[in-house]
Amino acid sequence: MSVRKLKPITPGQRFRVVNGFDAITTDKPEKSLIAPHKKSGGRNSQGKMTMRYIGGGHKKKYRIIDFKRNKAGIPAEVKSIEYDPNRTAFIALLNYQDGEKRYIIAQNGLQVGQTVVSGENIAPEIGNAMPLSQIPLGTIISCVELRPGQGAIMARSAGAFAQLMARDGKFATIKLPSGETRLILVNCLATIGVVSNSDHQLLVSGKAGRTRWLGRRPRTRAVVMNPVDHPMGGGEGKSSGGHPRSRNGIPAKGYRTRSKKNASNKYIVERRKK
């Protein structure tokens, strides 16, 4: 994977850094695996804006991704690595031996023509999905389930990965991308390898309009609002906003909002780093 710095032929291109897309093999998605993707513009069923700073953006189609990897024991060939506008990671189109096609999150190093498989008693190779009980300790994994059969919900974005640290009885100890160390049931599935497109963090948009193309509208800073609109608003001239807090008055930057009564607290071995 690589990034390209563009020549400054316009002001918007001067600092722009784009993805090289050298891992992408096709620009046409599989028609049977796309669905409509309707936008709300941040409005509810009454047409009232309930989420600010959302709206506009380029039209997208949703790619139906197989997060469950529940076709156990059936090998699949990687037909293509594709761009997905709905996520930061690239996706891979699989052709199963029984004729079915599915999209999965692509891992770094996944190649067209490679064979991947999910299930038990398989080799821990890149792209294979298997239970935590059978993955060698210390392995780098991604697309991790939190509950058996739920489908992958952790370590799914570009360049993300977790690490299998230990196993004890029915629980495995996983170090997550946030730095949190957590217990997860050993019969949860995980995919071997790091999520693709790890250069995503190096991209530079170059201009405000490109953010609008992604469906994000300009965000008004709290300190420039009036006191009626935000706790940090008001004051003569360029006053500082006081203690950082949300629109509802909840402190930010260091204030912990996680409930002490949360049932999942007992599964967290070490909290994420500040």
CATH no. for 225-267: 4.10.950.10
Task: Tell whether the model's pLDDT for residue 245 goes beyond 70.
Answer: yes
pLDDT at 149: 94
The DSSP call for residue 272 is P
Whether the domain at 3-201 and the domain at 225-267 fall into the same CATH topology: no
Q: Is 132 helix (H, G, I), strand (E, B) or coil?
A: helix
The separation between CA 114 and the C-alpha centre of its own chain, rounded to angstroms, equals 24
| Ranges of each domain in the chain | 3-201, 225-267
Banded model confidence at residue 56, pLDDT cuts 50, 70, 90: very high
pLDDT at 122: 94
Task: Tell whether the model's pLDDT for residue 272 goes beyond 90.
Answer: no
Span 215-222, mean pLDDT? 95
pTM: 0.92
The full length of the chain comes to 274
pLDDT at 237: 85
How many angstroms separate the CA atoms of 177 and 181, rounded?
A: 9
Fold of 3-201: OB fold (Dihydrolipoamide Acetyltransferase, E2P) (2.40.50)
Span 165-177, mean pLDDT? 96
Q: How far is CA 5 from CA 18, 27, 196, 213, in A?
A: 6, 22, 20, 20
How many angstroms separate the CA atoms of 257 and 196, rounded?
A: 32
Which of 116, 26, 27, 141 shows the shortest CA–CA distance to 66?
A: 116
How many angstroms separate the CA atoms of 142 and 107, rounded?
A: 8
Percentage with pLDDT > 90 across the chain: 94
Tokens representing 108 are 């770094």
Banded model confidence at residue 238, pLDDT cuts 50, 70, 90: confident
Q: Is 155 helix (H, G, I), strand (E, B) or coil?
A: coil
pLDDT at 36: 96
The DSSP call for residue 123 is -
Span 52-67, mean pLDDT? 96
Report CA torsion sign: 110, 143, 69, 101: negative
pLDDT at 1: 65
Banded model confidence at residue 274, pLDDT cuts 50, 70, 90: low
The DSSP call for residue 65 is B
- One DSSP character per residue, 194-252 reads -BS-GGGGG-B--SHHHHHHTTBPPPPPGGGS-TTT-TT---SSS---SS-B-TTS-B-
